[in-house]
Structure 1
């Protein structure tokens, strides 16, 4: 006699329930049919078959079977099954009635109160749902499942922190229960608490060391913390355990992109696309790595394919595709369409402090009465680049300029040769509310589109433009150096240069270096650096005005020196940002072989020539820069 049959004394209903709990639906169904053959109309057997139908995803069948059981014997647990099946089938009012009967017949059964809570929430009665769920918890206070359901209800009600607190309680009740830990980690990650989510994912991995999903989730959490090497190791392991999971391959591709391993990133994202070809998010990621590999035609086709899908609409992945398409178009000089596509960023990057309220978006038309609020949207470099459009905008409207405080003194150095610009442009004090005469708003990066400017405008220095050069042709040349961007940027590793790789620059005699690096960049290059006083960007601009040359990676320093008209050399990654594409190179090369930029004619690039990892990709452009620096020095002497 089988062990379960001995344990249940041959009772076919008890045997069926045991089989169902073990996940054996077919075995359970056989036992319930046996019970009905012995006793036709047996309500417990009918109820058991209703449970099998629900487990098989057939709530329609479960409703009929549970209804027959209730008609014979109106037991509370029959009503619970009937109510759950009705809920699953979308019959909310009938489900509520059945479950209310269950709570009346057996008020001490927490399952009835918990099931009723689900129906009440579906009907929008969240306060009543929470009360019902709390009654269930009062009956079974150490049940982690009920506590977790309440945590998720609180989160869905908008109380994210309360939900997390309850999820912590659920996890504490069952510290080795993976479901509770996973829910807690998910809530923490969703609340932006990546530092707290990561150790919870690590605990799950400890409990399930051979589970590919546990490795993949931990890898994704590490990636969210910019711990790229550890994330790669975890996702690599997950992909080896389960190579056919598109999400793992997608995340692995993103990590490899961040690490600068572009061909490997492309392979992983191609694998993800093959597994899930209709996934727009994966397609946009694949387009991004194609652009980074300078396979821009393929990237553009892929973005357009995402936008052509019938379900694109207001989808965020479609907005990402449109924004990425904008950068690709700008990089090849299709400016008008590129600026229009770039407007999709408003759907991707929420304005942290939208002080424009409900005012309309400015369309670029002349404003006769009132002012337009112009706001900085992204980094300092973007802001500096697009300040050049202010004079044209001021001809059409009075402007209220909302930009970071660190730029205020610098912006006041913008020239106004005919005295018409500054009377029509005011700086909004930091933290101040916009004045009441604001009638429209606009992002700085939208100005080319709204003003109908289809090309890079003619350049003249527009920040600290009258600064006198104080660098001397005699003695040591003074060269400013910035080797790293903001480390919180996910793909900073590709644009920043490991400072040790700049050692060849220090071999050039007759050059002294001045640090333009922001604080907290860690150890610098292996040669002496003067470190000037720190302050706002006007202070930095005045430091630059005392230099002969600026050498930088793609940060705000490149834009600042360029906007001043100061000589600046840009160390740029392979497949770099759209504004540094060859499309904007000036036609006449410099004595060292590079061409200036139409955005900043004094800026010359030393580009990576191959999509190699960062530890190799910078060797060749730094060597070229070292040789150019020696020629520059000789030209000054």
Structure 2
């Protein structure tokens, strides 16, 4: 070919490749066809067609086109395209051969080494793959692309810290390269380093302010940090930019649910389900908001539908569906099936230590030799609630009780009327390994199922039951207040109360309030309360119990304080959110009317609820139950005088 025509052909091929690089695949294909019409068999045009075929998802066609190009001109970069196409078709050995030729023909081309690394990793030769990628990095040390590939290789090999460090290096080489920032943010989020991931997502948003995915990712990161209001704003903006993205609608629904906007949360999750009707994760989230809206029948049907799917045997979404189904069943009194379904929590609750990990589960049968390791699994409230089953468990086996140290002194106050509990139950020291006589293990919450006790056992006070209330000055009623739970709990905004919302209680004369908070949790902290608050000395749960024993009444949200006062048999009023936790459902109400709030609880007969009766907006959701509580408190005060 004459030199001027050769240059002309080169320019035409370059134009086609530029179109391909810009994402105009069809235009590139048409362009290369035109070049081949003018100069049949042109190797560069054939190679361009092979690149376009790969971009179109047709590696099979690319293999043939790249082969023809190589037959005419065995250029190294033609072998790279052939090797990548063979890799995509699953022909690993042939791909490795083609890419090895490329590295031999042009050993200074980092693309050849990087492509060869991908094949080597697919063949299980991870160490050789890393060597190839390090060659690519050495050949182009200022290029973030091979550095990022090396980081991803290290991460896939289990070295997440190494992957993060290399990705940071890639970001440092090109701080405004979105691909590197995306990779870094995902790695940090996956490593649980949410605080570090969030500003990276913010950087991506700065570079792509009109990108709905950038807004959605930033919103998800903010949600992970419990920054719900900011997360809502970001996700709503993402949904406006791209309303047909199921993941955005799903995350928006979760944020709205956490904020207490239940009808809006249901609408977002319904939209997500319509976009991805077979997605089990979205379906379980939708069932959760239905339960919170007290549409429990629909929620149960949705959970059962998830479990009925053929692929639902092993995934975590099925475990979530089974656990949620368990809470729905318990809430309506189907205890036997409900407790069994609750066992799915073993796949959902993170294990913070593996002590006893190889010990078999206890089935509840009598054990004559050895002991059962009985472990607290969740919060202090759950532990207190299920301690009531200890005497029954101790009749079947000797027990080693593994519970938080803050409960150790308190649990020793449990009565032992028939002398079978404490001779057969001992406490495990904090951090100590299970003793050698352990032959089985069981979670405290599993006891109703393992002991065959599907319904609530008869109640008598079982923590600090004999301590009498200290006499107070005439006319003074002492009321303990606990208005907030653990703020790290994702849905704490729904159960906790802003102190300012309790202002009506201060209108009741003759009442002295005592703080049962262990910190200033809650919006505004204690400073938001418009009345004086006594602060007793803090300590472990026994110290709190002794404070409660000196009170006339405890007012609390759904926290360990409710369980503690209830287990002591002390009067306790629970402010409970609409569609609240299963254990406070109407099924567990006492049959006798309550002179105070809603009916008392079979879990704790001295506990009376003041429920939200409607899914009102969060700003007003507590107005009505607090007003009822204020009036009840005035009547309670009069009854004590």
Q: TM-score, normalization: structure 1?
A: 0.97
Q: Distance in 2 between matches of 1:7 and 1:636?
A: 102
Where does residue 33 of structure 1 map in the other structure? 33
Q: Note closer, same or farther for the CA distance 1:401–1:202 as it changes in structure 2 (3 Å cut).
A: same
What SS does the aligned partner of 2:468 have? Answer: coil
Where does residue 618 of structure 2 map in the other structure? 614
Where does residue 625 of structure 1 map in the other structure? 629
CA-CA distance at 1:594 after TM superposition: 3.0
Q: Distance in 2 between matches of 1:10 and 1:431?
A: 72
1:345-356 to structure 2, matched below 5 A, reads: 345-356=345-356
Contact 1:8–1:15 (CA under 8 A) maintained in structure 2:
no
Where does residue 284 of structure 2 map in the other structure? 284
* Ranges in structure 1 where 5+ consecutive residues have no aligned partner: none
Q: Distance in 2 between matches of 1:228 and 1:191?
A: 21
What SS does the aligned partner of 1:574 have? Answer: coil
1:212-227 to structure 2, matched below 5 A, reads: 212-227=212-227
1:37-436 to structure 2, matched below 5 A, reads: 37-436=37-436
Deviations 1:578-614 (A, max 9, x none): 0000100001122235321000001000001110122
Q: Distance in 1 between matches of 2:249 and 2:562?
A: 35
1:483-632 to structure 2, matched below 5 A, reads: 483-521=483-521, 522-524=525-527, 525-592=529-596, 594-632=598-636
CA-CA distance at 1:275 after TM superposition: 1.1
Contact 1:474–1:636 (CA under 8 A) maintained in structure 2:
no
Q: Distance in 1 between matches of 2:336 and 2:26?
A: 63
Deviations 1:427-464 (A, max 9, x none): 10000011111111111111111111110111111111
Contact 1:550–1:561 (CA under 8 A) maintained in structure 2:
yes
Contact 2:597–2:609 (CA under 8 A) maintained in structure 1:
no
After the TM superposition, which of the residue ranges 562-571 and 77-86 deviates more from structure 2?
Answer: 77-86
Q: Distance in 2 between matches of 1:6 and 1:16?
A: 15
Quote the RMSD (CA, aligned, Å): 1.6
What SS does the aligned partner of 1:461 have? Answer: coil
CA-CA distance at 1:95 after TM superposition: 1.3
Q: Distance in 2 between matches of 1:6 and 1:455?
A: 87
Deviations 1:165-195 (A, max 9, x none): 1111111211111111111111111111111
What SS does the aligned partner of 1:186 have? Answer: helix
Q: Distance in 1 between matches of 2:282 and 2:8?
A: 51
What SS does the aligned partner of 1:589 have? Answer: coil
Q: Distance in 1 between matches of 2:8 and 2:380?
A: 73
Contact 2:597–2:610 (CA under 8 A) maintained in structure 1:
no
Contact 1:381–1:556 (CA under 8 A) maintained in structure 2:
yes
After the TM superposition, which of the residue ranges 485-494 and 11-20 deviates more from structure 2?
Answer: 11-20
After the TM superposition, which of the residue ranges 324-333 and 38-47 deviates more from structure 2?
Answer: 38-47
After the TM superposition, which of the residue ranges 37-46 and 210-219 deviates more from structure 2?
Answer: 37-46
CA-CA distance at 1:139 after TM superposition: 0.1
CA-CA distance at 1:72 after TM superposition: 3.4
Q: Distance in 2 between matches of 1:531 and 1:473?
A: 18
Where does residue 455 of structure 1 map in the other structure? 455
Q: Distance in 1 between matches of 2:433 and 2:94?
A: 52
How many pairs were matched up?
633
Q: Distance in 2 between matches of 1:7 and 1:227?
A: 59
Contact 2:208–2:214 (CA under 8 A) maintained in structure 1:
yes
Q: Distance in 2 between matches of 1:290 and 1:471?
A: 47
After the TM superposition, which of the residue ranges 347-356 and 528-537 deviates more from structure 2?
Answer: 347-356
Deviations 1:129-186 (A, max 9, x none): 1111111000001111111111111111111111111111111211111111111111
What SS does the aligned partner of 1:571 have? Answer: strand
Contact 2:465–2:569 (CA under 8 A) maintained in structure 1:
yes
* Ranges in structure 2 where 5+ consecutive residues have no aligned partner: none
What SS does the aligned partner of 2:364 have? Answer: coil
